[in-house]
Structure 1
Amino acid sequence: MTGSTGTARLRPALHAPGATRANAIPAGAWWLWALGLATAASRTTNPLLLGLLVGVAGYVVAARRTDAPWARSYGAFIKLGLFVVAVRLVFSAVLGSSVPGSDVLFTLPEVPLPGWAQGVRIGGRVTAEQLVFALYEGAKLAALLICVGAANSLASPARLLKSLPGALYEVGVAVVVAMTFAPNMVADVARLRTARRLRGRSTGGVGAVLRIGLPVLEGALERSVAVAASMDARGYGRTARVPTAVRRTTHVLTLGGLLGVCAGTYGLLAAEGAVHGLPLLLAGVVAALAGLRLGGRRSVRTRYRPDRWGVRAWLVAASGAAVALAMIRAGAVAPDALHPGVVPLTAPVLPLWPAVAVLIGLLPAVVAPLPPSPSDFKERS
């Protein structure tokens, strides 16, 4: 009995706790995790690794997303990724490709073009090599979009706005409003369609769309006016005076840091610049953070109950960074495993240790607090 009682007491401690306002993962940690997976996806065209990355992102989203309207956008990003792959294949078949190939699948009617359009063709032979190459490239872009969609589904836009530095607060408001407008509009459309269906009215056709569209736009306008009124009532836009030297130093550090971040990010995404990309990225991040720290002095707003980065938040962010670093290392050590051959066609092989490194991205599904379920709300009520 004593052993079973001790096991029963230990079992809840091994599981992640329920999410509360105090232990919820900050939005920045989710974005760092997702950007790490996106960086890893940008380093390979192996469809097996890309599928594994998408599976990791999807599992974490299914395990840790809430029932908020913005948390339902993951499915839209998956559909967008599939659309990108389809468009990439169609363009490759219709407009041709620079990839040479000998395995002709079919031939499309070719449109004759004038002499000044040499190098461009519409129609003609479609080879298996060019379609496989287009499939690999489209799958890489689709994986990038799906990883970004995972961040949109897991990170609350309002909490992301709260965690932004004071110097970026104005820009952050515009970004958050843009990110939340589409999910709220989709929720309003679904609510109005359900109401019309319950009243026995049609939900399809041009007339129904026009009758639904007007209340949706009216509701969006009312929310915008309410947000503007609340921001004005709370003194939004008031700034403090800072010395001229501090303002100029802030501009230099912020602009130089952002340029370093852009150059470093390009180096990480490009296969040839990975060695110099990481130091340049780190230097740019440090300079940009210093500039934002100085620029925050002009903001007089305060934060109510700011997000705290605990051990779980750092583990979530570090898991994405570990996946990205492992994939960058794999690209330097075994580039052939990350980029399967197209000419001649070879079957992709799943490399062992990069695949194991991708599985580190599943750590948030273990350490992140569990989102509240509908039954929890019923019990509280």
Structure 2
Amino acid sequence: MSSPCSPRQRCGRPAAVGERAAVHPGAWWLWSLCLGTAATRTTNPLLLGLLISVSAYVVAARRPDTPWARSYGAFVKLAVAVLLIRLVFAVALGSPIPGTHILLTLPEVPLPDWARGIRLGGKVTAEGLVFALYDGLRLATLLICVGAANALASPTRLLKSLPGALYEMGVAVVVALTFAPHLIADVRRLRAARRLRGRQDRGIRGLLQVGLPVLEGALERSVALAAAMDARGYGRTAAVPAAVRRTTAALTLTGLLGVCAGTYGVLTAAGGTYGLPVLLAGLAAALAGLWLGGRRTPRTRYRPDPWDLRAWLVAGSGAGVAVLLVLAASRDPAALRPGVVPLVAPELPLWPAAAVLLGLLPAFVTTPAKEPS
């Protein structure tokens, strides 16, 4: 009989070939966050639409058949809602962009002097609506990229890959991320059951009659999760010397301050000489603090996810899109941020568009994921 593994040892038999088909969840999150970073560098609707198409194609080709993977549609609906709300605000509250093409004139509500600069109603211009459309589409693209990460990366496998110092915070994040997919699955199940019984599942009455069982199921799931976490020793820490705790706190705090100061230096012209060294030193101190902090949370790793060549390709493709879009924004800002005064039709820049297509690489270098039972 083999001896049990230590708390800091990686336990479990090697996974079968079919079980290793899934890419490391961290690679999917890096890929999607890099696509979101690229979306923040442009307001060109053609490039933003291309980013949305790339993420949608990869999700359609590679997401597993699990409840949490179906949350992509909810993020798309949320993005559409954000875009519509942005346009409604532009119509009702006006826009700071001056325009000459007046589409309609709404009744304007007079406001007191202390609300100067804010208006309700008034002239609605085409320039203001186009500016709001570009701005809202950028935020919508960022939300869709985050939804792609939720659909492609298993939250439980992502939690398993976190360092020990971030384990408790990671559990809270994973529970928050899995709430929406489970909620959507419960709503679909209850609506299907009501339709089979010939009852109404739409409108205010149907929403209220579906909402109470969904809330009850969420509370039961929370109690079961709390009991399971307590049974597995969640929140218990190992005894470490006081000197190690003080060193961990000092390294983490110093590292975070260094990262903030270094990032400020990199983004400003005055800090070009000290920004990058301070940023690297802060990252090194923060990583050292995380490594020491992991000694307080010893835990086993059952079937750890390997960071293989496919993970490097997935993360590298997203990083390539982000880096190339950042370079394009600095060299040709007019192509990535089309003007609205005067109104001009946006053009698709060729090499930034080719850079965005680099994000399609995960659809060809990976296989459809199979979640182990």
* Bin of the TM-score, shorter chain as denominator length: 0.7 to 0.9
Alignment-derived partner of residue 143 in structure 1: 141
**1:236-272 superposed Cα distances (whole Å, 9 cap, x missing partner):** 222112223322232233334445556777889x798
Tell me, in whole angstroms, the C-alpha distance in 1 between the residues paired with 2:79 and 2:278. 30
Tell me, in whole angstroms, the C-alpha distance in 2 between the residues paired with 1:293 and 1:182. 32
Give the 3 Å change call, closer, same or farther, for CA 95–201 of structure 1 in structure 2. Answer: closer
> What's the CA shift for 1:372?
4.8
> What's the CA shift for 1:279?
7.0
Alignment-derived partner of residue 307 in structure 2: 309
Deviates more, 1:61-70 or 1:119-128: 119-128
SS at match of 1:99: coil
SS at match of 2:121: strand
Q: Quick check: 1:335 aligned with 2:333?
A: yes
Tell me, in whole angstroms, the C-alpha distance in 2 between the residues paired with 1:157 and 1:198. 32
Q: TM-score, normalised by structure 2?
A: 0.87
Alignment-derived partner of residue 6 in structure 2: none
Tell me, in whole angstroms, the C-alpha distance in 2 between the residues paired with 1:273 and 1:19. 53
**1:50-106 superposed Cα distances (whole Å, 9 cap, x missing partner):** 111111111100110111111111111111111111111111122112211112221
Alignment-derived partner of residue 112 in structure 1: 110
Match of 2:165 among 164, 167, 184: 167
Counterparts of 1:249-264 in structure 2 under 5 Å?
Answer: 249-259=247-257
Give the 3 Å change call, closer, same or farther, for CA 117–351 of structure 1 in structure 2. Answer: same
Give the 3 Å change call, closer, same or farther, for CA 57–304 of structure 1 in structure 2. Answer: same
SS at match of 2:19: coil
Gaps of 5+ in 1: 1-17
> What's the CA shift for 1:206?
5.5
Tell me, in whole angstroms, the C-alpha distance in 1 between the residues paired with 2:111 and 2:209. 47
Give the 3 Å change call, closer, same or farther, for CA 273–19 of structure 1 in structure 2. Answer: farther
**1:304-349 superposed Cα distances (whole Å, 9 cap, x missing partner):** 1111100001110111111110011111111111110111111111
**1:206-251 superposed Cα distances (whole Å, 9 cap, x missing partner):** 6654554443333323322322222222222221122233222322
SS at match of 1:98: coil
> What's the CA shift for 1:19?
7.7
Tell me, in whole angstroms, the C-alpha distance in 2 between the residues paired with 1:79 and 1:357. 27
Match of 2:219 among 205, 218, 221: 221
SS at match of 1:22: helix
Give the 3 Å change call, closer, same or farther, for CA 122–85 of structure 1 in structure 2. Answer: same
Tell me, in whole angstroms, the C-alpha distance in 2 between the residues paired with 1:27 and 1:264. 28
Match of 2:187 among 186, 189, 193: 189
Alignment-derived partner of residue 7 in structure 1: none
Aligned identity (percent) is 69
SS at match of 2:167: helix
Alignment-derived partner of residue 236 in structure 1: 234
Q: TM-score, normalised by structure 1?
A: 0.85
Q: Quick check: 1:32 aligned with 2:30?
A: yes
Give the 3 Å change call, closer, same or farther, for CA 338–30 of structure 1 in structure 2. Answer: same
Alignment-derived partner of residue 3 in structure 1: none
**1:95-145 superposed Cα distances (whole Å, 9 cap, x missing partner):** 112211112221111111222322221111111111111111111111111
Give the 3 Å change call, closer, same or farther, for CA 264–341 of structure 1 in structure 2. Answer: farther
Tell me, in whole angstroms, the C-alpha distance in 1 between the residues paired with 2:81 and 2:115. 29
Give the 3 Å change call, closer, same or farther, for CA 212–102 of structure 1 in structure 2. Answer: closer
Match of 1:42 among 40, 43, 50: 40
Answer whether contact 1:19 1:371 (CA < 8 A) is retained. no
Give the 3 Å change call, closer, same or farther, for CA 360–20 of structure 1 in structure 2. Answer: same
Tell me, in whole angstroms, the C-alpha distance in 1 between the residues paired with 2:142 and 2:347. 21
Answer whether contact 1:43 1:271 (CA < 8 A) is retained. no
Tell me, in whole angstroms, the C-alpha distance in 2 between the residues paired with 1:160 and 1:191. 27
Answer whether contact 1:267 1:273 (CA < 8 A) is retained. yes
Q: Residue type matched to 2:292 in 1?
A: L
Q: Residue type matched to 2:176 in 1?
A: A
Answer whether contact 1:19 1:369 (CA < 8 A) is retained. no
Give the 3 Å change call, closer, same or farther, for CA 312–207 of structure 1 in structure 2. Answer: same
